[in-house]
Chains A and B, each alone.
Chain A
Amino acid sequence: MEEARFEGLGSTCHLLGVGLEQGRLSWGAAWVAEMHHRFSRFEPDSEISRFNEKAGHWAGVTSELEQMLRAALDAYQLSGGLVHAGVLGSMLAIGYTRSLAVGPTAAVLTAAAPPPPLSQLLEVDTGRARLQSGFGIDLGGIAKGWLADRLASELGENCLVNLGGDLFASGGGPDGDGWPVGLGAVTVLLSNQGAATSGTWRRAWAQGAVRLHHLIDPRTGLPAVSDLSEVSVVASNAVDAEVHAKAALLLGSEKAAAYLDVHAHGWWLAPQSR
């Protein structure tokens, strides 16, 4: 089994493959770096930054950006509006204006507000899209999940692509009975499945006595308040796992289990006291 670890998409990435040459994994790492430059909102010349700058007008988009924007609209529908890619304004308001490796800037929470439904903000057509003026898109975990699914399909039949915790396991893994993946406090065997974790304890910081984190609740426009500290999900692909993990965390423990019973292959919920 060959593997490659590297920093990408603001996270740690891990590629594994059975029967793959190391050069193929190196190609995968280079592809992830290219995608970071194209779709990170922290890159001023990225496709998503340029798209946000053109809010209010139809803008030409590449096939990849079109598919990710469509995935964002699907995520919004699938999660009943809880996974909302149009919360960039809130992200900026809480100080998440640049990579957290550099550090957050001062938060102005009064500037955070719940956005309108994503379907009212974003229109996607073949080769073009339009964002309502005054709003911005943060693809965030949707991009990581989508890219993990895409890269896994490119790399081969027996590989695992983990992009910052959003992962897709393809094939039977090193022993043929599934890829052993840590999910919460257990190990699960995944085969042709995706998994992801959403939590409020990562990408979190404090401004005075106020604790802030990156997971915005579109119902308030503010960092989510949940009695769950993290939710891990196994689903049919990485982007679905990402969407359902985030939605379940926002729902809280009273509704998360019923929601995940419908949408997930498996799940792990951790209470806030962890």
Chain B
Amino acid sequence: MLLKAAATVLTLLAAGAAAVHVGGHLKNPAAPLHPGVLGTPSAVSSPAAGWLKLSPAVRASDVQTVTSTYAS
């Protein structure tokens, strides 16, 4: 009985310590994108597995594409 109680207390202590540790290492949303070369992170978005940057001369849209640069 004493062993069960000790094991329970130990488990609770370990869980509590883990929670404190994880809470202290939350992902920083302001961290620079990887790879870090993309020098102006505020202007760069990563909508999927890549990085996009558009100047004011190009607008993104939700309209269905008529063609793409992946034609071949």
Once the chains are docked, how many angstroms separate the CA of A177 from the CA of B63? 11
Partner of B58, one of A3, A165, A193, A253: A193
Once the chains are docked, how many angstroms separate the CA of A165 from the CA of B51? 19
> How far is the CB of B40 from the nearest CB of chain A, in Å?
8
> How far is the CB of B61 from the nearest CB of chain A, in Å?
5
Once the chains are docked, how many angstroms separate the CA of A255 from the CA of B50? 15
Pick out which of these stretches binds chain B: A8-16, A30-38, A50-58, A69-77: A8-16
Partner of B49, one of A181, A187, A189, A270: A270
B35 touches A160 (CB 8 A): no
Where chain A touches its partner, the secondary structure class is strand
Interface residue ranges of B6-63 to A (CB < 8 Å): 35, 37-40, 44, 47-55, 57-63
Partner of B72, one of A12, A178, A260, A267: A12
Query: A156-177 vs B: 1/0 string, CB under 8 Å?
Result: 0000101111110000011101
B68 touches A182 (CB 8 A): yes
Please tell me if A190 contacts chain B, counting CB pairs below 8 Å: yes
> How far is the CB of A102 from the nearest CB of chain B, in Å?
16
A188 touches B60 (CB 8 A): yes
Interface centre among A232, A256, A258, A267 (most CB of B within 10 A): A267
Query: A194-234 vs B: 1/0 string, CB under 8 Å?
Result: 01110000100000000000000000000000010010101
A232-B69, A258-B37 known, 6 other contacts, Cβ within 8 Å:
A3-B66, A162-B67, A167-B67, A178-B61, A265-B55, A266-B55
A and B contact pairs by CB, cutoff 8 A, 28 listed = A3-B66, A10-B72, A160-B66, A165-B72, A181-B66, A181-B67, A181-B68, A184-B47, A184-B48, A184-B50, A185-B48, A185-B49, A185-B50, A187-B62, A188-B58, A188-B60, A189-B60, A190-B58, A193-B57, A232-B69, A256-B37, A257-B38, A257-B40, A257-B51, A257-B53, A261-B53, A265-B54, A266-B52
Interface residues of B (CB under 8 A from A): 35, 37-40, 44, 47-55, 57-72
